[in-house]
Chain A
């Protein structure tokens, strides 16, 4: 281990140390905090408030995992990562998991050696333009200047979209969302493109959100989800099933308000009992306490609660559930059974 840490410091920011520390769960327990990679600041998904307290949709997932593993939703060290630094941070072991609007793609899963542990937001790439431009469709964007965060899947989709539609564009590559926003608001680019949820979140922070429209075309599938390093299946299972527990809790009607009551005594729904640990030993199978799901759910609520609180229609970001509704409501959220 010592040699590998030394090597890591010398060469590739400790790529090797990550491989040596395969038992992430033990590391996290020994450390007492979960290192969670998040975005550098995207309101609604992950952003620090005035007191430096992180909150948001992705942040809630980090807190839920910390609660499930350590019993404390505040035992999280948030590591802000950019589109460029995120994978190195995860591969090198600087973070235990990444919850950062990251699209699940074949090459990231297979070639970059990461394991995606589910989808917490079904998204697609969209375009935002000022209303004054008078554009109503992405097909009218020939010759436009497009601001884009570099190193993302959106960069590749954008190139494909314009090439397939025989249109030209001028890409303005930007490192972070904040810089892209500055250029876009100063009209240094006509269009800002990223995941539609990110566009909505960015627009919500504008002084006059009404002056901008998000074009109807969604040009790609962007299943966003948390990911962990390849090769540590136990840890991957924990993140997967914590996310599943939050989704299942919504489906089963377990909320942050009633979860404790439901867990105090067995209910007449056996799946709720297994989820909350009053029946069976699902928690032990994961190497956690039997109340792991209860802790995760009470940390920030079930999936629906987290959604409504951070990015839902009553927030400035105002995203409809859409694809992210439960399968019972015509959405795509469908967890494997807890049994």
Chain B
């Protein structure tokens, strides 16, 4: 009689790492990882060693020394005595400002152009084609420089506003001055402001702004509640109560009352010395960069939107038309929502491109992070490696945040399959 016994336990031999298909794939991946890390380590070590031989050990201590230079556009307090770190931060905010403004404008222009390019009107469709091809085929740097040159050369200098019979006058009831140094618009001021609150001593946040935002948020909440109530009434009785006047009142009145309490008024720009003083100064460098980046990226977004719309079968619009919808409602209620899932992934790339292209800002003297940290700071301290590394990290962080936010949105609008 034979007894069944377990097969002998296979002992693990080193050679199995190569010959056994169960382990081989993992073995090779681990070897590749070690080789890669060694290469990276060797490169880093070599760089540090060579810099040390040059007498320039990598160090980030310079970031805390006074920068010594001035920056014209600053969203937070900054003087030439502030540190390089703060200068980099000022530059970062300027980068973010132009990126946000650019992405919004580019999206609006891009969607309009993309839709119009499919218009049945021959002239409009061709005009949009010309626009798209013009911007897609010329480098963005040239558009930036061109926008700046047009602003500088065609607009009057502040001196043209001077004298009894000036060559130029301010527009819009003497409140807006358009010059070749930028556009000066009235700024909101508060006679009885609440002051500022300092965050970690690093920057100030206006309490007025917080108060207004809070009130506005509350108003929107109440307004939505009214809307929901109207929906419920409609559901129950079939008649929708008229609420728009109440909702408008709820939105506007509290803010107006608050503004009145704070003593809200406008500060108008006026000629003072060499320049206009007072008001908000939108520099030409910002305008040129914003305009060029938006128009350039919009051309790409238009193509993406066109592709997205064309991806929706024409049966969809015919079906919507059969239900009696007008063509603009077909576009906004049927076509675009479906097209979004095709549009959004390439749109993320365009937002990233716009943000990265903003590093061309120095061409027009806009002080973004490339201008401050990777420009003047690099030059004054001679720390190429450190500043460029920091700059790359910053752009990486910005890009990753943009794409993660956009991916969240993409997950919300993408087709839900059952």
Chain A interface (Cβ < 8 Å from any Cβ of B): 3-4, 7, 10-13, 15-16, 18-19, 83-84, 87-88, 91, 107-108, 111-113, 132-133, 141-145, 150-152, 155-156, 158-160, 162-163, 169-175, 179, 182-183, 186-190, 230-231
Chain A residues with Cβ below 8 Å from B384 are 12-13, 15, 88, 91
Tell me whether B379 and A151 are in contact (CB under 8 A).
yes
Q: How large is the interface on B (under 10, 10 to 19, 20 to 34, 35 or more residues)?
A: 35 or more
Apart from A15-B50, A83-B379, A172-B365, list 19 A-B contacts with CB within 8 A.
A3-B46, A7-B50, A12-B51, A12-B388, A15-B51, A16-B46, A16-B50, A16-B51, A88-B384, A91-B382, A151-B380, A160-B68, A169-B70, A171-B72, A182-B149, A187-B158, A187-B180, A188-B152, A188-B157
Chain B interface (Cβ < 8 Å from any Cβ of A): 43, 46-47, 50-51, 53-56, 68-72, 79-81, 149, 152-153, 157-159, 180-181, 272-275, 277, 284-285, 362-363, 365, 367, 371, 375-376, 378-382, 384-385, 388
Tell me whether A183 and B382 are in contact (CB under 8 A).
no
Please list 5 pairs of residues, one from A and one from B, whose beta carbons are closer than 8 Å in the complex, sorted by A's number. Answer: A4-B46, A7-B50, A11-B47, A158-B70, A188-B180
Tell me whether A183 and B371 are in contact (CB under 8 A).
no
Tell me whether A160 and B152 are in contact (CB under 8 A).
no
Chain B residues with Cβ below 8 Å from A143 are 272-275, 277
Instruction: With CB as the reference atom, state the residue of chain A lying closest to B180.
Output: A188
Tell me whether B180 and A186 are in contact (CB under 8 A).
yes
Bound: A87/B275 CA distance, A: 35
Tell me whether A11 and B43 are in contact (CB under 8 A).
yes
Chain A residues with Cβ below 8 Å from B81 are 163
Bound: A159/B180 CA distance, A: 23
A-B contact count (CB 8 A): 146
Bound: A189/B79 CA distance, A: 21
Bound: A160/B66 CA distance, A: 12
Chain A residues with Cβ below 8 Å from B79 are 163
Instruction: With CB as the reference atom, state the residue of chain B lying closest to A191.
Output: B274
Contact of A163 among B54, B80, B153, B277 (CB under 8 A): B80
Chain A residues with Cβ below 8 Å from B363 are 175
Bound: A156/B377 CA distance, A: 11
Chain A residues with Cβ below 8 Å from B72 are 170-173
Answer whether A87 and B382 are a contact pair too, CB < 8 Å, given A7-B43, A175-B362. yes
Contact of B274 among A16, A88, A144, A163 (CB under 8 A): A144
Tell me whether B273 and A10 are in contact (CB under 8 A).
no
Tell me whether A159 and B55 are in contact (CB under 8 A).
no
For the complex of A and B, the 5 pairs showing the least CB-CB separation, nearest first, are A151-B379, A16-B50, A187-B157, A159-B80, A112-B382
Chain B residues with Cβ below 8 Å from A158 are 70
Chain B residues with Cβ below 8 Å from A172 are 72, 285, 365
- Nearest-neighbour CB distance to chain B for A220, whole angstroms, equals 13
Contact of A155 among B69, B181, B272 (CB under 8 A): B69
Bound: A13/B159 CA distance, A: 46
Chain A residues with Cβ below 8 Å from B274 are 133, 141, 143-145, 190
Answer whether A155 and B376 are a contact pair too, CB < 8 Å, given A150-B371, A171-B72. yes
